[in-house]
Structure 1
Amino acid sequence: MLYLYSPEQQDHYHHLLQEALPDWSIACWPQEINAEAVTHVVAWKPPVNFFSRFSNLQVIFTLGAGVDKFLQRDDIPEHVTIIRLTDAGMAQQMTEYALYGLLHFQRKMDIYRSQQQNTVWQPQPTRLAKDTRVTILGLGHLGVHVAQTLAGLGYPVSGWSRHPRNIEHVRCVHGCDALGSLLQETDVLFSILPSTDETQHLLDAKHLALLPKDAALINAGRGTLLDEDALLNLLNQQHLRFVLLDVFASEPLPAAHPFWRHPAVMITPHVAADTIPEEAVAQIAANIQALASGHPVQGQVDRQRGY
């Protein structure tokens, strides 16, 4: 039996799953069931101890790309396989988000917005794509799509990851030792890194200060990557010109947080890339079939790496 927990879109997901998996018995929270019959769960943000009653649970499919909240739980046994979404319509959305922030900075829309508020008519010097160096932190499925798309638009793109990668038209570097020099050569830094022990506050005061003066930062990965106090200090020193933030250490972002009112910061409420139900279910169904036939699956989580 497959059990579904997605209160916000439960009926829609149930219909799609039943259509994609006609031979499966599929139940939805809070439907009463025989918990011992549940072997597979599809869920997003389930409550505390949700998984404890499923004694025969084998696989959890998450309805998102991030799995840090699942790995922090104590109700998921080590033997249970966790499979995250690798795209499900998110790659195109994430690319659009990155491109919006990049163009906002490159075409100086932040400056023009400030000028408008002060009734100033003052054209700024033109900056071309070829003169705007972009660095992508995180070269998973989404990061690769962003990097290749921006490179195709004429931007010089570099990508950083923990392990070596080879991506056409993208300069790839890896390892903590290479990060510092890369940041010094970056005009727009876009992060799509997951939350792991290694990425906690990776962008701290030391690393953020390596970005050139008047650079831009876009964070659509996880809020824990960023030392928010260090970022505020650099913004107040006018070291960075523009910041676009979609994720935060605490969500929703508290109303008293200074990011809300800072003139150099643009905030979105964790919407850079939403899961598209139809594509998510198609991926889940394909992975269920792959597991049944002993074939590799997309998105299987390595608990040691944290993604």
Structure 2
Amino acid sequence: MTLTILFAASEANWHSYAAPLQSAMSEAGLDATLTRDAAPQDVDYIIYAPTSPLQDFSPYSRCKAVLSLWAGVERIVTNPTLTQPLCRMVDPALSEGMMEWVVGHSLRHHLGMDRHIVNPGRVWDPACPPLARERPVAMLGMGALGTACARALAALNFPVTGWSRSPKSIDGIPCLHGDAGLAQALSTAQIVVTLLPKTAETENILNARTLALLPLGAVILNPGRGALIDDGALLAALDAGRIGHATLDVFRTEPLPLDHPYWSHPRVTVTPHIAADTRAPSASRVIAENIRRAEAGEPLLHRVDRQRGY
């Protein structure tokens, strides 16, 4: 029987994904029709982006799974009409892109590159940075992305401490959890990377109280979720000189409004949500494999736990 797979995402996404998805499904041995328009009762799987007009899943009674193109699922996981299994995007290429962004900006701040790259006064400043092994890093979030970034930084000799809400055990990376663990991880971190999902427990995890735990001059890198940071508290800490710099890739409102103080703050770098983008060829193989697994009666990969929200 030919499967009907509904592509519920933007037209731009369709142009990027149509050919790679068809190729990936063929390679996976799937007899499938990929379409942007199908009667709900005929749809076997939905490939989905939360920006899609499709917000009511109740008519899709035959649908076996909703396969997200995004790693973050906070914009769909609470939808009361979604009763089908939901799978988030976990793509090795996405992890590679995130790792490169995190390592690049960690090295940028560690080595003090900005003062040489932007030096209109032609100041001769031969100050030598410490070695990486003398620059502790706290990785908040030890999922697939956080673990990849933690290992990459550890390979460069940064002492990395991981933190997550629940206990984790990862070879080569000491991991902490809970409130006491968070305080311990932050107390020595000269670089903090936030790669947590957005949940009720993680929103504003970097706030006035937790930012005050950091050593003077610490750097914040946020490629995770905009809501992980209390913006007002961060701006106050930057203005007071407690936080040395914040490099931010994600925001509560995107694109970041032109009048937002982050744009003009001398200690803030704004990047336009580019830390880890989904690549159509590799993401298509992830989706095709999950459909193949479902059709073979195997467990779905990266299935979202509705209670935890990710």
User: So what's the TM-score if we normalise by structure 1?
Assistant: 0.93
Match of 1:39 among 37, 44, 49: 44
Take 2:7 and 2:280, find their aligned partners in 1: how far apart are those partners?
Answer: 13
Is 2:138–2:191's contact at 8 Å kept on the other side of the alignment? yes
Is 2:8–2:54's contact at 8 Å kept on the other side of the alignment? no
Is there any run of 5+ residues in structure 1 with no aligned partner, and where? none
Could you report, residue by residue, the CA deviation over 1:234-277 in whole angstroms, capped at 9, with x for unpaired residues? 00001111111000111111110000011111111111001111
Is 1:83–1:299's contact at 8 Å kept on the other side of the alignment? yes
Using the TM superposition, give the Cα deviation of residue 88 of structure 1 relative to its aligned residue in structure 2, in angstroms: 4.2
Match of 2:166 among 160, 163, 184: 163
Take 2:293 and 2:212, find their aligned partners in 1: how far apart are those partners?
Answer: 46
Take 1:72 and 1:270, find their aligned partners in 2: how far apart are those partners?
Answer: 23
Give the structure 1 partner of residue 296 of structure 2.
Answer: 293
Letter in 2 for 1:10: W
Give the structure 2 partner of residue 99 of structure 1.
Answer: 103
Give the structure 2 partner of residue 90 of structure 1.
Answer: 94
Could you report, residue by residue, the CA deviation over 1:279-302 in whole angstroms, capped at 9, with x for unpaired residues? 111111111122222323321000
Is 1:88–1:275's contact at 8 Å kept on the other side of the alignment? no
Give the structure 2 partner of residue 64 of structure 1.
Answer: 70
Could you report, residue by residue, the CA deviation over 1:64-114 in whole angstroms, capped at 9, with x for unpaired residues? 21101111334423xx10001112411111111111111111111233355
Is 1:95–1:145's contact at 8 Å kept on the other side of the alignment? yes
Match of 2:214 among 211, 214, 236: 211
Could you report, residue by residue, the CA deviation over 1:175-215 in whole angstroms, capped at 9, with x for unpaired residues? 12210121011010001111111111111110011111111
Using the TM superposition, give the Cα deviation of residue 142 of structure 1 relative to its aligned residue in structure 2, in angstroms: 1.0
Partner-residue secondary structure (3-state), 2:138:
strand
Moved more, 14-23 or 57-66: 14-23
Is 1:18–1:24's contact at 8 Å kept on the other side of the alignment? no
User: So what's the TM-score if we normalise by structure 2?
Assistant: 0.92
Q: Equivalent pairs: percent with the same residue? A: 35
Letter in 1 for 2:243: L
Moved more, 136-145 or 172-181: 172-181
Moved more, 246-255 or 83-92: 83-92
The count of residues paired between Structure 1 and Structure 2 equals 302
Take 1:165 and 1:175, find their aligned partners in 2: how far apart are those partners?
Answer: 11
Using the TM superposition, give the Cα deviation of residue 121 of structure 1 relative to its aligned residue in structure 2, in angstroms: 1.8
RMSD across aligned positions (CA): 1.6
